[in-house]
Amino acid sequence: MLSPEFKFVMVRLHRMKQLLLIFAVIVATNLPAENWPRFRGPNGTGVSDDAIPVIWKKEHFKWKTPLPGVGHGSPVVWGDRIFLLCAIEDTGERIAVGLDASSGRVLWQLAFEADKHRHHKNNSFASSTPAVDGDGVYFSWGTPEALTLLALNHDGKLTWRANLGPVKGGHGFGASPIVLHDLVVLSNDQDGESSLLALDKRTGTVRWKTPRQSKRLTYSAPCLYKAPGRAEEIIFTNWQHGITGIDPKTGKVNWENDVFGKPAKERAIGSPIIADKLVIGTCGFVTKFKHIIALRPKGNRMEEAWRIEKSVPHIPTPLLLGKNLFLWNDQGIVTCVEAASGKINWSERAIRSGRFFCSPVAANGKIYCAESGGKMIVMRGDGKFEVLAENDLAENCHATPAIANGVMYVRTYSHIIAIAE
C-alpha cells in the first residue's frame, strides 16, 4: 500500500509534468519563424538546418507561381511573406513583389518606371536581391541615369525612395543591399566615381558615404565580420580595392588589402564570407585569372592567410559547411578546401556540362546548386564527393534559392517554386 507521502510526491510530479508541457506548447507557439533576410540568408552564409528533399518528386512541388516579370535576383523570406524583384525586359519597368509563403499567392505588386538600357546577355533588369527585416523590405536597381534604393512595408506601401546618382557599367547593375541595425548598406562600386553607402532604414537619409574610385562594376553583397577583440566591421570586395573593412557607424575604412590581380580587368561578383576568424573574398575575369583569398586578423589590420587560383568560381559565392569550404565554379567543377589552411582536399565535376550563375546553398548538410539550364544539383556536404540528385526545374535558373521554415524557394526566370517534404 502506498504511503500518503509517496502519493503526495506523485501528485506533485504529475502537476509539474503538466506545467512543463503547457510551457513547452507556449514556447513553441511563440517561436519566431525562420527568416532568410538577404542574398544567401543570414550574413550571406547560405546555410540552413532545414531538411529539404534530395530527389524531387511531384508531391515535393508544393506550388509554382508565375511572376509578373522576369529576373535573376533571389527571393527573401520574412515570416509568412516572400519578396523579390521582377522586371519587364521590353520596357525596363521594375516590379517589387510580395507573396504568401504558404500558398505562393501574389499578395501585391508595385511597378516603377525605369529606363531600358543595355546589359550583359546573362544579366537582367532584376538581378538584385532585396533585403528584409521586421520593419520593411529594401529593393535596389540601377540604370545609367539613377541608382535607386527604396523601402516598402511588408504590405507593399512605399516608405521612401532614394536616387543615389548614375550607374556606369556596360554589363548592367546587380548589387544587393543588406540591413545592419538601423542601416541599409549597399556597394556602389562602378566604372569610375564610386562609393560605399549606408542609408537610414526608416527615412532613406544617407547616414554615411565613403567615396572611392573603381574601374569595374561590382556585384558582390557585403557581410558582417567581428575579429576577436575588435568591433564589428562591414566587409566589401572589389577588383580595384581588394577586400575592405568598414566601420558600420561612420563608414571609415579600417583596413584595406589590395589582394586581387591587376593584369586583366577583373570583377568581384561572388560575395565575401566569414570562416571563423577568416575573411574570404573572390574576384576574377571570366576567361583569365580568378582568385579566392583568405585574410586573418593581425592586430587592427588583416594579413593574407592563403590563396587559391585554380578552379575558382567567377560568379558563384563559395559555401562554408563545417570545416570545409566548397568552391563551385561556373563550369560545375566543385573543389573542397580545408577552410582553416586552404588545403585542397579534392576537385571533381558535379555535372558533365553546364553553366552556373547560382551560388550553392546547404540544407541539412546537403549542398544544392542550380545549373543555368534548369537542373538543381544536390551533393553530399560532409566532405566526401558524391552527386546525390539532378532535379528538373523546367526553366532556366540563375537565382540562388532561399530556405526558410522547411521550404526551399527557387526562383526561375519567370516563376517561383516551393519545394518541401
**262 pLDDT more than 90:** no
pLDDT value at position 275? 98
**273 pLDDT more than 50:** yes
Measured distance CA(25)–CA(28) in Å, rounded: 5
Residue 217 lies in a domain: yes
* Burial class, 264, CB count within 10 angstroms (exposed 0-12 / middle 13-18 / buried 19+): middle
Give the total number of structural domains in the chain.
1
Residue 143 · residue 115 · CB < 8 Å: yes
Residues 6+ apart with CB under 8 A from 188: 147, 164, 165, 167, 175, 194, 195, 196, 197
Q: What average pLDDT does the segment 319-344 reach?
A: 98
pLDDT value at position 288? 74
pLDDT value at position 4? 52
**31 pLDDT more than 80:** no
pLDDT value at position 119? 84
Q: pLDDT digit string (tens) for 225-238?
A: 999 999 999 999 99
**10 pLDDT more than 60:** no
Q: pLDDT digit string (tens) for 275-284?
A: 999 999 999 9
Q: Work out the pLDDT band at 351, boundaries 50, 70, 90.
A: very high
DSSP structural state of residue 215: S
CATH code of 271's domain: 2.130.10.10
Residue 15 lies in a domain: no
Q: What average pLDDT does the segment 192-213 reach?
A: 97
**244 pLDDT more than 50:** yes
Q: What average pLDDT does the segment 68-96 reach?
A: 96
Report residue 112 as a C-alpha cell: 516603377
pLDDT value at position 121? 82
Q: How many CB atoms sit inside 10 A of residue 38's CB?
A: 27
Looking at 172-300, which runs of residues are DSSP E strands?
178-180, 183-188, 192-200, 206-214, 223-225, 233-238, 242-246, 253-257, 273-275, 278-284, 290-298
Residue 148 lies in a domain: yes
Residue 24 lies in a domain: no
Give the N- to C-terminal CA distance of the chain in Å, as an integer: 52
The share of the chain scoring above pLDDT 90, in percent, equals: 83
**pTM given for the model:** 0.91
Higher pLDDT, 9 or 118: 118
Helix (H), strand (E) at residue 10:
helix 4-30
Measured distance CA(54)–CA(363) in Å, rounded: 10
Report residue 340 as a C-alpha cell: 582553416
pLDDT value at position 26? 30
Q: Work out the pLDDT band at 61, boundaries 50, 70, 90.
A: very high
Q: Work out the pLDDT band at 163, boundaries 50, 70, 90.
A: very high
Q: pLDDT digit string (tens) for 135-147?
A: 999 999 999 999 9
Q: pLDDT digit string (tens) for 367-399?
A: 999 999 999 999 999 999 999 999 999 999 999
Measured distance CA(235)–CA(372) in Å, rounded: 28
Measured distance CA(400)–CA(127) in Å, rounded: 11
pLDDT value at position 385? 98
Residue 369 lies in a domain: yes
pLDDT value at position 187? 97
**18 pLDDT more than 60:** no
Residue 7 lies in a domain: no
Measured distance CA(48)–CA(41) in Å, rounded: 8
pLDDT value at position 17? 44
| Domain span including residue 371 | 35-419
Residue 22 lies in a domain: no
**156 pLDDT more than 70:** yes
The share of the chain scoring above pLDDT 70, in percent, equals: 92
- Closest Cα partner for 124 from 420, 412, 417? 412
Residue 292 · residue 266 · CB < 8 Å: no
Residue 102 lies in a domain: yes
